[in-house]
Amino acid sequence: MGIQRPKGTQDIIPGSVEKWHYLEEQIHAICSEYGYKEIRTPIFEATELFQRGVGETTDIVNKEMYTFLDKGERSITLRPEGTASVCRAYSENKLYALQQPVKMYYLGPMFRYENTQAGRFRQFHQFGAEVLGGEDPMVDAEIICLIWELLRRLGLKGLEVQINSVGCPKCRAEHRTRLQEFLHEKKAGLCADCQNRFSKNPMRILDCKNKTCQTLTENAPTTLDTLCEDCSTHFEKVKSYLEIADIRYRINPKMVRGLDYYQKTAFEISAEGIGAQSAICGGGRYDGLVAEIGGPPTPGIGFAMGLERILSVMEKQNIQIDTDPVSPIILAALGDHARKEAFKLMSDFRQAGLPVIMDLLGRGLKNQLKYADREHARYVLIIGDDELAKKVAVVRDMRLGDQQEIAIENIKTFLIENNKISGKEL
């Protein structure tokens, strides 16, 4: 057996990649409409960025990062998520000097050493958006609206927005104390991860998926119980803006998100009919993150969704994606002289924006016509010695089954006028 792709990766091959193109086009379109600009950050960063930005108590940093020493003995990590990199770029490139807020989005591969299973990969792709420099609750609502509208356009069914407020450092300190007091006598029954979180980040115990931990925290104090006045007012305004936008939501007081940098608003969006792991997108506010990684104090909010996850949900919900390519024009040439003339025509047609391909293997006419049929071609241009002598080409309409001779010098005009070079009409 030959060399195979690494575990947890995938080849996105022709026939599948067109679905990715469709999804990416929808993402670019809606981000443009909402005033978000694309940002592209390095695939690897200094490990310290994620230790400080994502949080040393998180599973990502503790268990899942691809970290190595480069030849300069620097600790480098393949990015496991996008927010920390965007915040680093915002600070390093002094984007805080621009008109605020700065609204950015990204598309690209992320890397986590996870247990591979259906829909989970070690190299996966995320779409995320970040708004930096805006603390108004309207910013929180707008970014949720963007996600909702994208998923609506994609045709996803049974969508639900879950929201919570995880407070700020001021009111979280009180919640931490009350939660530790509540869990003190229950600590021995918690899973190993939650026992470790008890002293470092007890709030995350509320979000544990272990059934025993869920039972033990059933009546635990939530962050909503200890919100300060500022956080409470912010949360009420977020809810009111969502109601204005006619977006249904459910308050989930135990949703705290998995990363240390979240403050105030936290949210997830789920879809129906896709199993227990129904969340397809998550995010929240992280007002202290830019300062944590060495930048100026900057409010921020963002989200991320996995493209593999979205495509899987679309498939499970039987949402069809039109992946039929533009029907090409096929040049069928017979003989060396005709092949040279056809190659010249192909170059001319392509400069005019016409989708045209020709046989590259020197096959006979019968096989070239079979090739055209497999490619769903509308027109086949047949050129041989007889046609060259008359300076014409036989233009066969594969849909209608008829053909005609057209002067070579007029073929380009004929094709443009008959097809308008429009989408999938060719």
Query: Domain ranges in the chain?
Result: 17-168+228-316, 329-425
Torsion of CA 15, 155, 34, 85, to 10 degrees: -60
Are the beta carbons of 134 and 95 closer than 8 angstroms?
Answer: no
Task: Give the span between the Cα atoms of 43 and 61, in whole angstroms.
Answer: 16
Q: What is the DSSP letter of 117?
A: B
Same fold, 17-168+228-316 and 329-425: no
Positive or negative, the Cα torsion across 418, 420, 424, 426?
A: positive
Question: Could you count the other beta carbons within 10 Å of the beta carbon of residue 39?
Answer: 21
Q: What SS3 state is found at 106?
A: strand
Say what the pLDDT of residue 161 is. Answer: 96
Alpha helices in 300-391 (DSSP H): 307-316, 336-351, 365-374, 385-390
pLDDT in the model for residue 422: 40
Q: How large is the angle between the packed helices 336-351 and 408-419, nearest 10 degrees?
A: 40
User: If one looks up domain 329-425 in CATH, what number appears?
Assistant: 3.40.50.800
The pLDDT score that the predictor gives to residue 165 is 96
Ranges of the chain with pLDDT below 50: 420-426
What pLDDT was estimated at residue 242? 97
Fold type of domain 17-168+228-316: BirA Bifunctional Protein; domain 2 (3.30.930)
Q: How far is CA 371 from the centre of its chain?
A: 35
Residue 126 tokens, joined: 């995320």
Say how far apart CA 3 and CA 10 lie, in whole Å: 14
